[in-house]
């Protein structure tokens, strides 16, 4: 059975309707006969809202406590998605970054993943469960909760895909793929069905908000195929892999 890692971004999970739609999509993919690990971001603007709460107390929140606060956004979406899956009879279990065995260095708010001890995830996959993982977070070598920096759940997804030798890592967003130019600014922008990692990195460095560039670099290093599509439509997305 092929293992797929899917990642759903904040706009794809912004409301309960959206979370239920994601549950249906996950269910569909599972029924096609795949093992699934689903990485989630926080709902909508949750992370920004949490940051604003902290800033109302102090303009210099302790980094450890900021990580405790910001990591809670992804816990909300992972638990709600697990409940939505339960509701449509898809066995699933949610894990925090720490429970997923995502071990990072000790740099609060911009930690780097050092290693993934995926035993619990693997065990749940053998029990036929969809495993939902809170993106953007891990546990440090000092046993503290850490976050990976803004947009870090893309990195979580690729790191998990590599650690679990997934067939591909899929990203579901509010745009339906990668375009030759920013589709919100250029009407002649064209969606690419295929492209290579360097093209994505070039677009990202030019300011396009496609994927976290660290995630793309990691995928390139391990030749992990990436698929970018919309969670709002059934349009075909963009497959990113090395040019042959």
Give the interface with ligand ASP as residue ranges (CB under 6 A).
10, 41-42, 47, 73, 135-136, 150-154
Rounded to a whole number, what is the largest CA-CA distance in the chain?
54
Rounded Cα distance, 113 and 147, in Å? 10
Q: Which of 41, 71, 77, 140 binds Mg ion (CB under 5 A)?
A: 41
Tell me the closest approach of the beta carbon of residue 184 to ligand ASP, in angstroms. 19
Q: Which does 23 bind (CB under 5 to 8 A by kind): Mg ion, ligand ASP, none?
A: none
47-55, long-range: CB < 8 A, 24+ apart: 47/10, 47/73, 47/136, 47/150
Q: Residues with Cβ < 8 Å from 21, sequence gap 6 or more? A: 231
CB 226 within 8 A of CB 239: yes
Rounded Cα distance, 71 and 204, in Å? 25
| Angle (deg, nearest 10), helices 153-163 and 213-222 | 10
Tell me the closest approach of the beta carbon of residue 236 to ligand ASP, in angstroms. 24
Between 122 and 150, name the residue whose CB sits nearer to Mg ion: 150
Tell me the closest approach of the beta carbon of residue 75 to ligand ASP, in angstroms. 11
Token pair for 131: 């495993």
Q: Which does 44 bind (CB under 5 to 8 A by kind): Mg ion, ligand ASP, none?
A: none
Rounded Cα distance, 141 and 113, in Å? 10
Tell me the closest approach of the beta carbon of residue 42 to ligand ASP, in angstroms. 4
Between 49 and 128, name the residue whose CB sits nearer to Mg ion: 49
- By the rule CB under 5 A, 10 interacts with Mg ion: yes
Between 151 and 177, name the residue whose CB sits nearer to ligand ASP: 151
Q: Which does 73 bind (CB under 5 to 8 A by kind): ligand ASP, Mg ion, none?
A: ligand ASP
| Strand partners of residue 36 | 4
Between 99 and 180, name the residue whose CB sits nearer to ligand ASP: 99
Rounded Cα distance, 150 and 48, in Å? 10
Q: Which does 176 bind (CB under 5 to 8 A by kind): Mg ion, ligand ASP, none?
A: none
Between 79 and 189, name the residue whose CB sits nearer to ligand ASP: 79
């Amino acid at each position: 059975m092929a293992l797929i890692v899917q990642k759903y971004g904040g706009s794809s999970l912004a409301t309960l309707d959206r979370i239920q739609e994601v549950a249906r999509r996950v269910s569909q993919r599972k029924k096609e006969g795949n093992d699934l690990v689903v990485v989630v971001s926080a709902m909508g603007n949750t992370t920004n809202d949490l940051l604003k709460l902290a800033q109302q107390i102090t303009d210099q929140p302790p980094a450890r406590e900021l990580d405790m606060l910001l990591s809670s956004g992804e816990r909300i979406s992972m638990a709600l998605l697990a409940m939505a899956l339960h509701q449509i009879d898809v066995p699933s279990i949610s894990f925090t970054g720490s429970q997923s065995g995502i071990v990072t260095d000790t740099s609060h708010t911009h930690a780097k993943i050092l290693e993934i001890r995926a035993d619990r995830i693997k065990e749940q996959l053998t029990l036929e469960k969809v495993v939902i993982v809170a993106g953007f977070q891990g546990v440090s070598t000092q046993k503290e909760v850490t976050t990976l920096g803004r947009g870090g759940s893309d990195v979580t997804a690729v790191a998990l895909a590599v650690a679990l030798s997934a067939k591909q890592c899929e990203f579901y967003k509010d745009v339906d793929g990668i375009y030759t130019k920013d589709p919100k600014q250029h009407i002649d922008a064209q969606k690419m069905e295929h492209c290579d990692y360097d093209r994505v990195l070039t677009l990202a460095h030019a300011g396009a908000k496609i994927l976290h560039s660290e995630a793309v670099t990691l995928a390139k290093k391990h030749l992990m195929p990436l698929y970018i599509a919309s969670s709002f439509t059934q349009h075909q997305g963009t497959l990113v892999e090395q040019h042959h």
